[in-house]
Structure 1
Amino acid sequence: MIQTNGTLLNRAWAKVLLKHQVRVGVSMDGPEELHNTYRVDHKGQGSYENVVRGLNVLREENVPFGILSVIQLGADPLVIHHHFLSLGCKSISYILPDFTHDTILPIRERYGPTPCADFLIPIFDDWWFNGTLEVRIRDFWNVARLIMGGDSLTDSLGNNPFHFIFVETDGKIEGLDVLRVCSEGMTNTTLNVQYADFRDIAQVSALHTRAIFTGMPLPEACSSCPERDTCSGGYLPHRYSKQRGFDNSSIWCADLLRLFAHIRSRMGVSIEETQLRRQVLREKALNLI
């Protein structure tokens, strides 16, 4: 899997990616005007046309690809979603914006208490009533999997150890790169692939050991939540505050609870049924039934 802004994709790259069976994620924000507002080149020019050109190459060369899009708070979700569908995309991920408890207040004041749910629920209903399983919206697929008792397949829900690291282009080894939104230098390890083993990251700090290998504790605020075993506190960076570290529920807690409740309603699966399903699956895994 490779994540790219898509601007330099061409047929030569497509052939290499296809040969090595690399799936491509392309970052995109929506239709041209919206995309070009946030994604410009070094000359200040919008990148939309180059991204679409890259997507067309991937599709014509049969390279599997998906679009990763950060939720545009306050924008029309169906305009954005239908635009991605019009580009021939069969896999879409909508990402909750990266803020912390120390930076979220102005966002809530501007967009209200559940702006992410306001964005995602209309897309879910459009997919539920009008779409097909040929189009996989990764976030909804993962929530549905959790509701049915399964484990999370993404690092944004479930509070599982990451079991992955990041390697920068200069060889630097880091933990979860998005933790940079929490504080400057949090992801630094002083390790480099030129002289270090990936396992050495476990010796850098307790945070790296827990986040990557053993798992983070469930936030205290989530201990009595009915979705404690599904959402499990939300995405690690979204739990951070200078005062309590990562011992907070997600800044998007209200959005996640509303989204889970909506999808549960559509699927007809209660929290109690989820718990029973999870118990059965765990017993099967242990060969107890």
Structure 2
Amino acid sequence: MSTFVTLLVIGLSEGAILALAALGFVLIYKATGVINFAQGEFLLIGAYSFYTAFVVMQLPIVLALLVGVLVAVVVGVVVERFILRPMVGQSHISIIMVTIGLASVLSALVQMFYGTQPRSMPPILPRGSVSILGGTVPVNRLWAIVICAVVLGLLTWFFQKSRHGVAMRAVADDQQAAMTVGISVRRVFAMSWALAAISALIAGVTLADITTVEMNIVNFGLLVFPVVIMGGLDSVPGTIVGGLTIGLVTQFVSGYMDPGLAEIVPYLVLVLVLLVRPYGVFGEKRIERV
């Protein structure tokens, strides 16, 4: 029972971080139709930008977070304006290849400035452990769940209820109709990339705090794809369910079976979902006439 509780909390924390990272992926896809293969690198940029402000520049944590948000917004807007916007009207495979190239460039830039050695930073979340139902649970994992849940709730509310969120949904449904009622499609595109970068920043900083600041954050970001395939590329609730499911399955397989097998289980789930339900558990089934 103690092992189960420990694995449950760790799985929920990693699943919540995954869901937050995947939510940015879904926002971009819903608003622009772009499949962003650089989402893992956005986590990396977020973690290292915060590390630079907090450790290298020794700014207070609040200012370091603000610097991280500013960097995330700038990166998101620059990518949309100067890399993706010129690709409007091009084939989907061309845009996918551009995002793959972008991922390589961002990763190379981080390696060029910081190298490949893991870096440590002062803890942000409380350390220590507590006992829950006989299991020893790290306190920072509990805080990670709370932080990700709050941010996911705020972003979901923004997307569902706010004026800008409604505009993003309108553009996702029909760009031409959105333009006729005065919605700036270009502004919505830029906003979606900025929000995706911010969500990746928070996910990256949280992950770096409970683990370490290193290039392997990109590998964690790759788990975004099983999450969004499982939940549905265009489903926000599906992203949350998918993230928690992948996080829990990975931890239970690692704890009860084999850590090596746990590394490939998310991709086995991805293949299984594609075979059974290609549009995801919560995704919208679209039938298009060609």
Please state which structure has a larger fraction of its residues in strand.
1
TM over 0.5: no
The structure with the larger Rg is 1
Specify the TM-score bucket, using the shorter chain as the normaliser. under 0.3
User: TM-score normalized by structure 1?
Assistant: 0.22
The answer to which structure, 1 or 2, has the higher relative contact order (CA under 8 A, 6+ apart) is: 2
Please state which structure has a larger fraction of its residues in helix.
2
